Amino acid sequence: MSERIDPKQRKMEYLETALELFNEKGYEKTTIKDIINAMGVSKGAFYHYFQSKEDIIEEISDAYAERVLRQTQELVNRQGLSPTEKINELFKMVQGYKKSHSEKRQKIKNIFQEDQNLKLQRRIMTKLRNQMMNSVLKMIEDGVKAGEFRNQDIYETTDYLLYVIQGLNRSIEEIVTMEFKKEAPDLNAAEEKMRKKLKFYEKMFELTLGTEEGAIQITEVYLDRFLER
């Protein structure tokens, strides 16, 4: 009798194989047949797990984000932390996760470099953002109830902050990318630009939430991730 294969483990093998092929050949040039051949399986076996290549990318993104989404939910329910401390811990947790999984994250980002994949990228980012929404909303709601945050529309505040955070992430990544494109990257210059921007965003987050000055602390968290300190 052949050994029974764990479906979850098998699915992850498909995802890892597909991710490597997408990075090696490019998403558009990689066919389902390529994935099937690399796995040594039949077409029927492939379609048991996936419906299309787009389905694979969504599954890869979901698998990458699953842990941090679970940790975020656990953070919401953690005892002993104030709502403000939970917001700061959320930034620390997410940036730490991205740093420790930087290689896989870069491979996933590479899939979306081609223009024809931007629509798919937006769909996946919207999905992940919506999954994060409820947890962050609860943190802000708790902060309002505790008197730490301004009493205002909680949903719109959360929605706004998540969009702002996406913009901040892109902006910081651009600073690092542009610096390392130079023949002689100046890390001190990059840090100065990042620190200036992050301090500004800390202030904007504080004004949006209505916290006291110095309550939101994200600068060192980002610097630790991007400058490998």
Most confident region among 52-66, 103-117, 159-173 by mean pLDDT: 159-173
E-assigned strand segments in 94-212: none
Q: Is the pLDDT of residue 117 over 70?
A: no
Q: Is the pLDDT of residue 33 over 90?
A: yes
What does the alpha-carbon distance between residue 20 and residue 134 come to, in Å, rounded to a whole number? Answer: 33
The answer to whether residues 153 and 137 touch, using CB atoms and an 8 Å cutoff, is: no
Per-residue pLDDT, 114: 66
Per-residue pLDDT, 197: 97
Query: Is pTM beyond 0.85 here?
Result: no
User: Domain 1-50 adopts which CATH fold?
Assistant: Arc Repressor Mutant, subunit A (1.10.10)
Find the largest Cα–Cα distance for the chain.
67
Ordered by start, the domain boundaries in the chain are 1-50, 65-226
Amino acid found at 169: N
Is the domain covering 65-226 a CATH 1.10.10 domain? no
Amino acid found at 22: F
Alpha carbon of residue 85 to chain centroid: 20
Alpha helices in 77-117 (DSSP H): 83-100, 102-111
The answer to whether residues 178 and 198 touch, using CB atoms and an 8 Å cutoff, is: no
Average pLDDT, the chain: 88
Mean pLDDT of 198-219: 96
Per-residue pLDDT, 126: 80
Q: Is the pLDDT of residue 124 over 80?
A: no
